[in-house]
Amino acid sequence: MNKLLNTPLKAFTLYALLVLAGSIPAYYYIVNRIWLSEIDLHNKFVKRKIETEFSKIVINDTILIQSLSLWNRIEPGIDLRPLAKPVQKSDSLYTVMRANNLHSRHSNRFRGLSSYLIINGKPYHLTVETNVEEADEIISDIAFVTFGFFILLVIGFIVLNQRISAKLWKPFYKTLHQIKAFDLSSQRSIAFEKTTILEFEELNGSLQRLIEKNISSYQEQKEFTENASHELQTPLAIIQSKLDLLLQNEALTGKESEIIEAAHKALARTSRINKNLLLLAKIENQQFVDTEPINLSQLMNDSLDFLSEHIEAKNITIEKQIEQGVFIEGNRILLEILINNLLLNAIRHNVENGKIGVEFSKHRFIVSNTGHNHSLNTANLFKRFSTSSAETPSSGLGLAIVKQICNRYHWQIHYSFDQQLHCFFVAF
């Protein structure tokens, strides 16, 4: 995943590369045009100088022709030859590729001037040619320099991006760090630092209002849950006692007894849900603040002994690997609830003659059990009022309480289905 700050840097780098690469032919065209223009001026200057010098010299034709023949051999860039008759043509410029007389192995580009002169009253043809640097050499040199500057640009982009971003985005990273560390259950708001950057200040203000609103809603919800659960305890207890009195009435018919018994079961389930909701509210309100060193190994064995009747009722085999002498700092009530809920979940959703595996060490706690031959829905497994099986209905709060206790101690809990075993893994 790419960082936000690196995304524009890549775009800028690509844009700079395309611009600099496209500038190479433009540089070549401009340099070549200037070069040819200067050479043309040089060749015309040579022509004027020849005309001027020959106009000052008085020499016969024979000596002139001999001198020109020697000069043409010595000066390869200038060729002056007599003509049979005058030619009425204006000066012309041309470019030609041919072998260099000094370097016959290589072809060179020459810029030439063709002109017609009158010397001693006779027509002559003058050719002035100047060697031009090779095009491929020009392009390679320009490309080398251009890409050198491109590397400097990229290095500069990276350094500037890091330095500017470190200062510019510092308020954003502080806000992000505070948001990551925020815990809604702690009910503590976040005090964002003031910044001179308008966008970050608006972001902090919006987040501040959003967090305060969520904290208020969360607090109201928890208070409602706690109050409702607490207030329901008394009427539920009264209904329970009234149903018990009705069941003791000898005048009840069989049908009436069945109705009362069904109501009694529904009331018992409602009472369990109410107690679990009250427990969740207390955990979220951090009312279990007392901590002490607890021997988890002993606590695990005590829980297995306490649930032995439930285990024997289904003829379940226990396979345990419990490391002895493991202590942890925590609240005894919460840890008992954590262990008992996981074990009860493994018993309730097991099959007759099944098995339960308990593995316990200093860093982890694993409860596995046989059961349904398919994986559970992990998306809703730890949510409230979510049941994993219609065959073994429950309040749907047991695993939610386990998850809340793990969050309380910053432990990790995971579920997996492997080799026909449902496994709950708690990492301390």
pLDDT tens sequence across 306-341: 888 889 988 999 998 888 888 888 888 888 889 988
User: Does residue 116 have a pLDDT over 70?
Assistant: yes
How does DSSP assign 165-234, residue by residue? HHHHTHHHHHHHHHHHH--GGGT----PPP-S-HHHHHHHHHHHHHHHHHHHHHHHHHHHHHHHHHHHHH
What pLDDT score does 389 carry?
53
pLDDT tens sequence across 7-52: 777 778 888 888 888 887 888 788 888 888 888 898 899 888 888 8
Least confident of 262-271, 332-341, 342-351: 262-271
What pLDDT score does 136 carry?
57
Q: Are 30 and 99 in contact (CB under 8 A)?
A: no
Q: How many helices (H) and strands (E) does the chain have?
A: 10, 11
pLDDT above 90 coverage of the chain, percent: 9
pLDDT band at 280 (very low <50, low <70, confident <90, very high): confident
What pLDDT score does 185 carry?
65
Residue 114's identity, in one-letter code, is: S
Q: Which of 326-329's residues contact partners 24+ apart within 8 Å by CB, and which partners?
A: 326/295, 326/296, 326/297, 326/360, 326/361, 326/362, 327/293, 327/294, 327/295, 327/296, 328/293, 328/294, 328/296, 328/428, 329/291, 329/292, 329/293, 329/294
What is the pTM for the complete model shown? 0.48
What pLDDT score does 382 carry?
83
User: Does residue 216 have a pLDDT over 80?
Assistant: yes
Averaged over 52-74, what is the pLDDT?
75
Please tell me the distance from the alpha carbon of residue 305 to that of residue 317, in angstroms, as a whole number. 13
